[in-house]
Structures are given as structure tokens and as C-alpha cells.
Amino acid sequence: MPGATLSRVGKSFGAAVLFDGLDLSVGDGEFVVLVGPSGCGKSTLLRLIAGLERPDSGEICIGGRRVDQLPPGERSVAMVFQSYALYPQMTVAQNIAFPLRMAGRPRPQLDESVTRTCELLGLAELMNRRPAELSGGQRQRVAIGRAIVREPDLFLFDEPLSNLDAGLRAQMRREFAELHARLGTSTIYVTHDQAEAMALADRIVLMRDGRIEQEGAPEDLYCRPATLFAAEFFGQPPINRLPGRILRVSGSETEIAVGDCERIVLGALGTPLAAGSEVTVAIRPEALTVVPEGHMIALAPRRVGFVEWFGGERHARLGTGDAALVWRTAGDRAIKTGESIPLHVAPERLHLFDRDGKAIPCTPLPNL
Ligand SMILES: Nc1ncnc2c1ncn2[C@@H]1O[C@H](COP(=O)(O)OP(=O)(O)OP(=O)(O)O)[C@@H](O)[C@H]1O
């Protein structure tokens, strides 16, 4: 039985259409992360599922049951907000017990569920404290506790870690992953942090302007972006993009001029493009290498502009203007500002996009 399905959901605010027939499904036990730029509709989608907004059209099912006409309390969903929304006058135990009290659970069963939840989240020692006496991470755990104690069919998390500092975020991210592995509850998790999305998701749904731009396993979106938007959304430092123009298409060979610097030859393109067509050539910073292994495309040497060192890795910016590239390499590799470096890229790690930003499948040359 699927965790949740949205079918042809429509939602407008006044004259502004946000969703126009949106489809989304979450498998049983699946951890789906919704990502996308500010304003693309992530929070509204969660609010529609939770019942805090009504769709104009379409159907929403949770655990196989149609819920879009039901009030929030009857949907078997639990939502955790960025702001935690804890009751300041209540203790940790009372905050976590609150949804069960509202549901009229008998006292012994309620106490047992609260104790079990506090133990699961490492809150057993803090059960009698009030929110003001807790750290940010502990408060977040109480908010999560209040969601899981209800044993819902679906968890909805709206940027739950964005109020935490970087170290705590990383720790809570691991806790989320462990909790999901233990509970196995279907989850939709909203974030605008691409690294958080890639670390947590079984499946990422990348949204743009109320539509799904691309969805799939994190590796699919990172390694096989369907659009330039998806390619640029994931990865830090971001993917390099260079302006290209198709020079020649003959049989199984395609020659492309990249900026003013280089000409590269690839195999046949999956989408036919005429000579003269403009394309974008995109290369992840870690796909660049100095030493060619096997058959690689050689790029024109570029001078190193500046170098940043992060301990385990080094990021160097080479070349200027349209030809600039960021190269991500090992932290122990010495790179001098001003030196000229010839870089290479494997043809299968080079991405091509047409003028509309749609990926153009391309094959390496047949003789490589
Ligand atoms: N109650 C409302 N009335 C009018 N417009 C709204 C309302 N709620 C959301 N919107 C609009 O719908 C669009 C999507 O908003 P939403 O909050 O879902 O985006 P988001 O992707 O969650 O953004 P963020 O990452 O900034 O939280 C925005 O243009 C927003 O202004």
C-alpha cells in the first residue's frame, strides 16, 4: 500500500496558479525529499497533504485512504515545522504527550508511549524540563517526538533543521536517517539544502515553479541531470558551465567549439542539433583531472587564478571569463597561483544542454 499519492492536484492563490495538475507518490516506508528554490511550492505542498490548505482540484490519498476532504486531525499525518512550535509552559513529557491527550488515549498507554519516545530520542533525562531550558537540538528532538508518538502513516517535515548551526545540523541529519531506518514510516521532508537532500533521500523530488523538474535517486539527479537547472541545483562547488556551439555534425561525430578556447569531438547526439546550434557544456569540478586515464578529452591549459584549501580537498579556479573552470582535487595536491594546468575530462562525464536547458544525450566517440 502506498504511503501517499497526490493525483492531478491544482492550487491557486487568487489569480496566481501554483500547482496545475501535480502528481506525486511516496512509496510505503520511503523517505522522499522535496527540494527547490524559495517560492517553488514546497511548503504549500506539505500543507495540502497535512490539511492546512485545501486543493482546488485533484485527490490526495494517505495509506490508501482518500483524505483531501478530511480535517487535519483525521489524516494520520504528523508535521514538524522549522519553528518547532512547542508549548513553552509544558514540560518535554507534556509536549510529547499532547497529541495523545487530544486523541483521548488512556493514561497508562499514554505514559508508556511518551517514555518510549523519549528513550528513542535520547530525551529520557530531560522529560521534566521546559523548552526554554533546552538547546536548539534538544527542542528539535521534542518536536520530532511529538510527531512520532502518534505513530502516523506519514511524516511531514518542513525544513526541520534550518534553525540549527552547521555542526548540530549534521548530527541531527544522522539522527533523522537512523530514526527513519528504525521506524520505517513514509516521510516527506522539505529542505532547500541540496546536501541535506542528497544525504537523506531515498528519492529526491526537485521542484521549480510549482512543477516537478526531475525526480529520482540522489545519484540520478547528480550524475544524470535532465536539465541545466537540475545540474546547477546540486553540487558544491557548483557544476562548471561553458558556452558551446555545434561546429560540425557528421555521421557519428559531433564537433563542438567551447568558448574561444577549445574544440571537442563527441559521438552522435541523442537529440539532433544542426551546426551553429548553441549548447551549454557542463562539467562537475571533481570530473576534471590532470592525468588522463584512458581516453579523455583534453581541455586547453588554463592559469590558476585562486586556490581554496579545505583540508581534505582543494578547489582551484582556472581561466577567466567564459572559460573559467573550478577544479576540485585532493587536499594534499600543491597548486600554485599563476601556473598553467592542462585539465582533462572523461567524455561520459561531460554534460550537454540545449538552449532551453534540456539535457542532450551524447555518446563518446565510437573508437574510444
Ligand atoms: N496563503 C497564501 N496566499 C497567497 N500566496 C501564497 C500563500 N501561500 C503561499 N503562497 C505563494 O505560493 C508560492 C509558493 O510558496 P511556498 O511557501 O509553498 O514556497 P516554498 O517553496 O516553500 O518557499 P520557501 O523555500 O521560501 O519556504 C509563493 O509564490 C508564495 O508567495
Tell me which of 39-48, 116-125, 316-325 is least confident.
Answer: 116-125
Is the pLDDT assigned to residue 366 strictly greater than 70?
A: no
C-alpha cell at 69: 476532504
**CB distance 42 to ligand 1 below 6 Å:** yes
Q: Look at residue 156 in the predicted model and tell me its pLDDT.
A: 94
**CB distance 43 to ligand 1 below 6 Å:** yes
303-332 residue pLDDT tens = 999 999 999 999 999 999 989 999 999 999
Per-residue pLDDT band for 337 (boundaries 50, 70, 90) equals very high
Label residue 148 exposed, middle or buried (CB < 10 Å: 0-12, 13-18, 19+).
buried
Is the pLDDT assigned to residue 287 strictly greater than 80?
A: yes
**CB distance 40 to ligand 1 below 6 Å:** yes
**CB distance 191 to ligand 1 below 6 Å:** no
Q: Look at residue 142 in the predicted model and tell me its pLDDT.
A: 92
What is the CA(100)–ligand 1 centre distance, in A?
A: 31
Is the pLDDT assigned to residue 364 strictly greater than 80?
A: no
Partners of 256 in the beta sheet?
246, 264
Q: Mean pLDDT, to the nearest integer, of 197-213?
A: 96
What is the CA(53)–ligand 1 centre distance, in A?
A: 12
Residue type, 153: D
**CB distance 41 to ligand 1 below 6 Å:** yes
- CA nearest ligand 1 atom 26, residue: 38
What is the CA(277)–ligand 1 centre distance, in A?
A: 37
105/243: higher pLDDT: 243
Q: Mean pLDDT, to the nearest integer, of 252-275?
A: 88
139-180 residue pLDDT tens = 988 998 998 898 899 999 999 888 777 877 888 888 888 889
What is the interface pTM, i.e. ipTM, of the complex?
A: 0.97
Q: Look at residue 166 in the predicted model and tell me its pLDDT.
A: 80
| CATH pick for 4-232 out of 3.90.800.10, 3.40.50.300, 3.90.1150.10, 1.50.10.10 | 3.40.50.300
**CB distance 317 to ligand 1 below 6 Å:** no
Q: What is the mean pLDDT of the chain?
A: 91
Ligand 1 atom at minimal distance to the Cα of residue 192: 25
Same fold? 4-232, 238-360: no
Question: Which of 242, 241, 288, 295 minimizes the C-alpha distance to 267?
Answer: 295
**CB distance 210 to ligand 1 below 6 Å:** no
What is the CA(38)–ligand 1 centre distance, in A?
A: 8
Q: Look at residue 148 in the predicted model and tell me its pLDDT.
A: 87
- CA nearest ligand 1 atom 6, residue: 13
Q: Which CATH superfamily is domain 238-360 in?
A: Nucleic acid-binding proteins (2.40.50.140)
Domain boundaries, the chain: 4-232, 238-360
